[in-house]
Amino acid sequence: MAEHVTLVVNGQRREVDVEPRRLLVEVLREDFGLTGTHVACDTSQCGACTVHMDGQSVKSCTVLAVQADGATVTTIEGLAAGGELHPIQAAFWEKHGLQCGFCTPGMIMSAADLLARVPDPSDQQIRHAIHGNLCRCTGYHNIVAAIREAAVTMHTGSASDSGIVG
Amino acid sequence: MAIDALGASIKRREDPRFITGAGNYIDDIKLPSMAHMAILRSPYAHANIRSVDVTAARAMPGVIHVIVGADVPYNPLPMVWPAGGSAGLRNNVNSPRILATDGVKWTGEGVAAVVAETPAQAFDALAEIVVDYEPLPAVVDAEKAVAAGAPQLHENAPNNVVFEWSVGDKAGTEAAIDTAEVVVRQRLVNQRLIPNPMETRGDIGWYNPGTEEYTLWMSSQTPHIQRLLVGIFTMGIPEHKLRCIAPDVGGAFGTKIFCYADYALVLLASKRIGGRPVKWIEGRRENYQSTIHGRDHITYLEIAGKRDGEITGLRVKTLANLGGRLSTIGPGIPTTLYARVLSGCYKIPNV
Ligand code: FES
Ligand code: FES
């Protein structure tokens, strides 16, 4: 017994018939082919699946697809406008904020949510904002540095020249 | 002009795809007509299996094929790194089977596998499999496992001791300790750990009925070696008939070195269902149970030294928990890999 769901995903209107038990992340990955959003746990703890729904970050493994009916969703694939890296993406690259990259899309989407609300966060606010995102590789240090760097770029339009990694 | 890479901060070439969501990890791969596999795992650490009834599972919606231990024609998984370098060594050969047959020896050992049109249908069908277990006593602490009266796991490993192994200068170390100005003695527990990469394991097997060739996509650190371990040692597929492909890997921390039963299962399943590719993606809970763990050593150490702080000798006795069955390189780790580097970066004359 399928339910009909209509969404706007990365600016595109999409419609899909889903079993009521299916998760938003499954529909994004399997039906829409947006595999940048990852699944790394089965307990809503890791944040690898973070996307924006109506402007707020959500764990898409914890949202039923039917709950997202009528919503506007942005995934990691929709973050870079017109082929240009988003400043947060650029800062993760610049500051070595990733290794295997599996947590990275979720991390970046959480950071984007933070910087939309708090343009100039303290390190403590950054760490608090990503406390629902787990990374096994980096030790978080350079992720925090990348988000700090992105905040500066988004403020001033240019990267800080501190040149310090971390 | 060549770039001097030393000391320079160099941007990684692989990052653009990872930061834009364009990475290609195992679960991102979708092949035409692909089916999905789920594995039923033992909730018991130690049990006999009286029977496995898959009749109801076979009738579930979307189910294409169900495999139990008795259907698997292959060898057990290989253990390829015995503890070397010591004469008279008895390494037993109790390595994991592709699926358990008459009993299980660790929590999470595979008992049956379902192949279905969707992952959800495969999981639904797992719930319909009825396994009649006869639970047996288990012990998880290595010191208790070798104590008198402990439950016995394998007939060929009396008192649960797989082997005893030693290396080094025994006489020299004894002398250093006997004549030392100071001897420090300690019991050190290096706890068991779950390596826990953010991406769990997973693989896709494809058998091409036309060419009789196999392809195995695997989240692996060792695709080259697996051609030998999965292909030749386990399934009897010659190397030129098996291609192993590791796409982007979302962390491994050593877990993706080993040879796992699911590699053979997805290939077998693909062949059984006429060459449709079969994908298996491990859940996080499943990862904790069925992918290898690390450490779990209890060590008694003695350090001989002089009063001025110079270390003159080190004697170490370690009890390593190798688990219910021997993993691919399990015996080599607490022996060749561990014991030969015990002195670390220190200059210790007698070890
Ligand atoms: S997949 Fe881990 S929180 Fe969603
Ligand atoms: S970069 Fe590997 S988990 Fe974060």
Residues 160-189 of B with CB under 8 A from A: none
Cβ within 8 Å of residue A35, ≥6 positions away: A29, B21, B24, B25, B27, B28
Q: A35 C-alpha to center of ligand 1: Å?
A: 14
Candidates A85, A99, A136, A164: best to mutate against B (most CBs of B within 10 A) is: A136
Domains and CATH numbers, chain A: 3-78 (3.10.20.30), 81-156 (1.10.150.120)
A80 to chain B: closest CA residue: B20
Q: Tens digit of pLDDT for each residue in B276-292? A: 999 999 999 999 999 99
B126 and B224, same domain (yes or no): yes
- Boundary residue ending a domain (B254, B269, B290): B290
User: Beta strand A12-18 with A3-9: parallel, antiparallel or unpaired?
Assistant: antiparallel
Residues of chain B above pLDDT 70, percent: 97
pLDDT band of residue A165 (cuts 50, 70, 90) is very low
**pLDDT-based confidence at A52, cuts 50/70/90?**
very high
Q: Residue B90's pLDDT is what?
A: 59
For residue B228, pLDDT over 70 is answered with yes
Same domain, B32 and B126: yes
pLDDT exceeds cutoff 70 at A164: no
Is the predicted pLDDT of residue B200 greater than 70, yes or no? yes
Distances (CA, A) of A28 to A89, A112, A153, B67: 21, 19, 30, 31
Nearest Cα neighbor of A62 from A33, A98, A37, A31 is A37
Please tell me the distance from the alpha carbon of residue B235 to that of residue B227, in angstroms, as a whole number: 10
- The pLDDT value given to residue B88: 54
Given a contact cutoff of 8 angstroms between Cβ atoms, the answer to whether B201 and B219 are in contact is yes
Other CB atoms within 10 Å distance of the CB of residue B236: 10
SS3 B84: coil
DSSP-derived letter for residue A78 is G
Contact A99 B251 (CB under 8 A): yes
Ligand 2 site, CB within 6 A:
A 98-104, 135-138; B 198, 251
Kindly report the pTM of this predicted structure. 0.94
For range B213-221, the mean pLDDT: 98
Q: Judge whether A85 is closer than 8 Å to chain B, CB to CB.
A: yes
CA distance B248 to B246: 7
Q: Say yes or no for a CB contact (<8 Å) between A98 and B18.
A: yes
In a domain, B298, yes or no: yes
Cβ count within 10 A of residue B82: 20
- Extract the tokens encoding B168: 């080094």
Nearest residue in chain B measured CA to CA from A135: B198
Q: Is the Cβ pair B198, A93 closer than 8 Å?
A: no
Residue B343 burial by CB count (10 A; 0-12/13-18/19+): exposed, middle or buried?
Answer: middle
Are residues B78 and B178 located together in one domain of the fold? no
* Chain length of chain A: 166
Q: Is B288 helix (H, G, I), strand (E, B) or coil?
A: helix
d(CA B230, CA B144): 34
Is B219 within a domain? yes
Task: Inform me whether the C-beta atom of residue A147 falls under 8 Å from chain B C-beta atoms.
Answer: no
Q: Is residue B300 part of a domain?
A: yes
Distance between CA atoms of residues B221 and B199, nearest Å: 13
| B210 within some domain | yes
> Can you say how many angstroms the Cα of residue B67 is from the centroid of all Cα atoms in its chain?
21
Arithmetic mean of pLDDT, A2-18: 97
d(CA B115, CA B95) in angstroms, rounded, equals: 25
B20 touches chain A (CB under 8 A): yes
Counted residue by residue, chain B has a size of: 351
Kindly give the distance from the C-alpha atom of residue B342 to the centroid of ligand 1, in angstroms, as a whole number: 40
Tell whether the model's pLDDT for residue B95 goes beyond 90: no
Interatomic CA distance for residues A160 and A157, integer angstroms: 10
Tell me how far apart the alpha carbons of residues B142 and B136 are, in angstroms, rounded to a whole number: 17
Instruction: Give the pLDDT mean for B117-136.
Output: 98
Q: Which ligand is nearest to the CA of B23?
A: 2
Check whether residue B314 and residue B254 sit in a common domain.
Answer: no
Residue B347 lies in a domain: no
Residues B115 and B69: beta-carbon distance below 8 Å: no
| Whether pLDDT at B269 is above 60 | yes
ipTM given for this complex: 0.94
Please tell me whether residues B188 and B199 are part of one structural domain.
no
Q: Is B196 on the interface with A (CB under 8 A)?
A: yes
pLDDT in tens, B77-86: 998 888 876 6
Helices (H), chain A: 24-26, 87-94, 104-117, 123-129, 141-156
Q: Is A45 left (phi over 0), alpha (psi -120 to 50) or beta?
A: alpha
Nearest Cα residue to B36 out of B140, B131, B90, B114: B114
Q: What is the distance between the alpha carbons of residues A46 and A25, in angstroms, rounded to a whole number?
A: 13
- Quick one: tokens of B221? 């650190």
Do both B228 and B170 map to the same domain? no
Q: How many domains does chain B have?
A: 2
**Which long-range contacts does B164-170 make (Cβ < 8 Å, 24+ apart)?**
B165/B83, B165/B86, B165/B89, B165/B335, B165/B339, B166/B86, B167/B85, B167/B86, B167/B335, B167/B339, B167/B340, B168/B339, B168/B351, B169/B350, B169/B351
User: Residue A57: beta bridge partners?
Assistant: A52
CATH number of B74's domain: 3.90.1170.50
How does DSSP classify residue A12? E
Q: CA-CA distance, B118 to B279, in Å (whole number)? A: 10
| Residue B147 belongs to domain with CATH number | 3.30.365.10
- pLDDT of A37 above 80: yes
Q: Give CA–CA dist B242/B226, Å, rounded.
A: 10
CB of B284 less than 8 A from some CB of A: yes
Name the residue range of residue B177's domain: 142-152+162-193+293-341
Same domain (yes/no): B65, B124 = yes
Crossing angle of helices A104-117 and A87-94, rounded to 10°: 130
Domain assignment present for residue B91? The answer is yes
Tell whether B252 and B226 lie within a shared domain.
yes
Rounded Cα distance, B215 and A134, in Å: 32
Same domain, B178 and B320: yes
Mean pLDDT of chain B: 94
| Same domain as B320, residue B201 | no
What pLDDT, in 10s, does the model give residues A136-149?
999 999 999 999 99
In a shared domain, residues B173 and B98:
no
pLDDT above 90: residue B87: no
> B261 in a domain, yes or no?
yes
